Amino acid sequence: MKRMLSGIKPTGQLHLGNYIGALRNFVKYQDEYEMYAFIANLHCITIYQDPQTLKKNLRDCAALYLACGLDPNKAVIFQQSDVRAVSQLGWIMACNSYQGELNRQTQYKDKIAKGETGITVGLYAYPTLMASDILIYNSDYVPVGEDQKQHVELARDIAVRFNNRYGETFVVPEPVIAQVGARIMDLQDPTRKMSKSDNSDKGCIYLLDDPKRARKKIMSAVTDSVGIVQFDKENQPGVANLLQILSSLTQEPIDSIVKRFEGKGYGDFKKEVADAVEAELIKIQTEYNRILSEGILESVLKEGAEKANRTAEKTLRKVQKKIGVEIF
């Protein structure tokens, strides 16, 4: 069975974009692949986080992993920092990547272009730790949103380079980008991606939002004056985004939704999207509450960390031997 790995960086509360673009796919893939799903807590601290808030976000993220359907009997679920070997391989990754490569990573480049100051070395080196996450578990596939593809490509480049230099060591991973829902947009500004980081609260639906409030956010989503429900990202980005949300939640193809709404207005359409979102949040939150009240989180993460450590230690030993840093 091929191995798949992915992680989420909960610097805030998880939102619908994370769910549709990432989490829900992890759940689907756990039946087809040997799935490693982790919480990228070390990646969170590349920007200062209030410790108490971070702790809460991490706990919520872990609970949401399970609430959204990740099953500890199928997937290896763990926290990034519980596998110490990842940080150690991260250093080796940094020593096998070039400044020029990191300079080209959009996440960093955008911050520089905006004139941001106080960028940490951790943020700059972020993709090298991510490469370690990917390569240490011999991952074949890495499902990510479009914005993370470049980081997976860097991991590939490092793997190929390392294999050429030191002999066959790493599996060369491939990014997997979902067809629909790879980029859910902000409801108030559909030209920007829905994000926990920098947009207005009204434009982002959090998985732990009160479902009624989430409903309102959909009903007040920005559309356009065209008045036809059709998939035209360029001229009707708001409607296209709602179509993507509805299609990915209900599995109904966009074409078929468009046909059903021929001659109907945006009001009816939004109502149907709002119904789907509300129902999904209720389902997730019911599970989330059950998981927290049963107190199973700690043991799930501990067991996941044990499995992940076994794989990671093997890779690290092999790598250290190949590069000559181990005497015996």
Nearer to ligand ATP, 180 or 323 (CB): 180
Scan residues 87-146 and list those touching ligand ATP (CB under 6 A). 144-145
Tell me whether residue 28 is one of the annotated catalytic residues. no
Query: Choosing among ligand LTN, ligand ATP, none, which partner's interface includes residue 17 (Cβ < 5 to 8 Å by kind)?
Result: ligand ATP
Query: Choosing among ligand LTN, ligand ATP, none, which partner's interface includes residue 239 (Cβ < 5 to 8 Å by kind)?
Result: none
Nearer to ligand ATP, 96 or 304 (CB): 304
Tell me whether residue 111 is one of the annotated catalytic residues. yes
Query: Choosing among ligand ATP, ligand LTN, none, which partner's interface includes residue 134 (Cβ < 5 to 8 Å by kind)?
Result: ligand LTN
Segment interacting with ligand LTN (CB under 6 A) among 127-135, 192-200, 207-215, 257-265: 127-135
Is residue 151 a contact point for ligand ATP (CB under 6 A)?
A: no
Tell me whether residue 149 is one of the annotated catalytic residues. no
Nearer to ligand ATP, 182 or 308 (CB): 182
Query: Which of 37, 75, 76, 144 is the binder for ligand LTN (CB under 6 A)?
Result: 144
Distance CA 113, CA 207 (A): 32
Query: Site residues (CB under 6 A) for ligand ATP?
Result: 8-9, 11, 17-18, 20-22, 144-145, 147-148, 182-184, 193-197
